[in-house]
Amino acid sequence: MKTYDGIYSYDSPDNAQACLVTVTNKRIEIHLRDAHGNSRTVHWYWYNVVQGDRALHHTGLPLQTLKVASYEFQDEVARRMKQPLRRGIPAVVTAVAGTVLFIVLLLVAAYFWIIPALAGRVANTLPVEYEIKFGEEAYNNMIRDFKILPGETEKVNSFFKALDIPSKYPVKITVVDKPEANAFAVPGGHIVVFSGLLQQMRHPEELAALLAHEFSHVELRHTTRSLMQSLGTYMAVSLVFGDLTGIGAVLVENAQTLKSLEYSRTLEKEADLNGLRLLTARKINGEGYIWLFGTLKNEAGAMPSEWLSSHPDLDNRIRYVETELKGDTTAATPAALANLWQQIKTK
C-alpha cells in the first residue's frame, strides 16, 4: 500500500499539519502525530469525500481539508471517485436500515400472527354481558342507516324462534329494505338480513341455513374476533393495555364494517358445519345450505351479492357440506317452519 505526503487542516486553513496518506478501497487514511509525538489516524470514507480546487474536503463540520501534491495520488482519487457503487455503506445507515427492516418484520408478524392470536384470546375471554352491551351499541350506531321492515322482521324472528336454538345471547333478527343479497351478524346477538336475499330464496331450509350460519358466527364469537382483527392497530393498542372500554369504543365507532366483515376460511367452515349440525339435530334438511349457495351463485350476475364478497369460496363450501350430509337429504320441512315461510313469502 503506497504512502503519500500531504497537508491536513482541521477547522481552519491555519490549523494545518503534515501527514502521511494511504488509499484503500473503502477510505482515505490520514496518519498524523500530535505535539507529543503520539500517532493517530483520521479516516475519510469515500462517500464523505468531495473534490475541490487542488484539494479534497470532508463533508460536514468542522471543515477538513487534505492537499496531496502527488499526481499519482490525484489520479487514484479521481479513479475511485468515479466508482460510487463501490463506496462503502456507513455504519449508521446500515444500523438504521436494519432497525427499519426489523420494525417492518415485526409489523408483518403482528398483522398476520400476533394480532389475530390476541384478538381470538380476548374475544373468547370477554364477559358475555359486556359483548352484548357493546354489540347493542354497535347495532344502534349502524342500523340508523337502514330502513327497517317491521312486518318482515317480526316474521323472520318468529321463524328463528321456531328453530328453538338455545343461546347465551339474546338473538334478534332485523330485516332491512335493501335489494342486495346480504346478511351479517353483530357481536352480542343481532343478525341483519337484507330483503333482497329473502326475495331470492326459494326454500324455507335456505333461510334456516342462513340464520344457523350467522347465529354460529355470533355464538362462536367469530364476529367479535374478526372485527377486532380487522381493526388492526387501533385494537392492538387496547389489547396491549387491557382496555375493555377502549375495545368497545373502537368497535362501536367502526360498526359500519360489520356489513362487509370478512371471515377466514377456517371460521367460515366452522360456522357452516356448526349450523349444519343445528339443522340436523332439528330434523331440518341440511341441503338448505346447498340451495342457499346455489341461489347466491345464480343471482350474482344479475344482482351483486355483498354476502358473496364477504363469504367467498362457495364451490369449496358446497363440497364439504355435501360430504357432511352423506347423502341424507330426505328430511321433510317441519310444518311450523313451512307455515312461517309462507307468511314471509306472502306480500
- pLDDT, tens digit, for every residue of 78-93? 888 887 544 445 555 6
For residue range 123-153, list pLDDT tens digits in order. Answer: 667 788 988 988 898 899 889 889 999 999 9
For residue range 286-306, list pLDDT tens digits in order. Answer: 999 999 998 888 765 444 444
Does position 239 have pLDDT exceeding 70, yes or no? no
Does position 317 have pLDDT exceeding 50, yes or no? yes
Q: How far is 131 from 139, CA to CA, in rounded Å?
A: 12
pLDDT on residue 86: 46
- pLDDT band (50, 70, 90) for residue 201: very high
Residue 280 has a CB neighbour count (10 Å cut-off) of: 15
Q: How far is 199 from 303, CA to CA, in rounded Å?
A: 12
Lowest average pLDDT, out of 8-17, 170-179, 194-203, 246-255, goes to: 246-255
Is pTM beyond 0.95? Reply is no
The terminus-to-terminus CA distance of the chain in angstroms comes to 97
Does position 243 have pLDDT exceeding 60, yes or no? no
- pLDDT band (50, 70, 90) for residue 346: confident
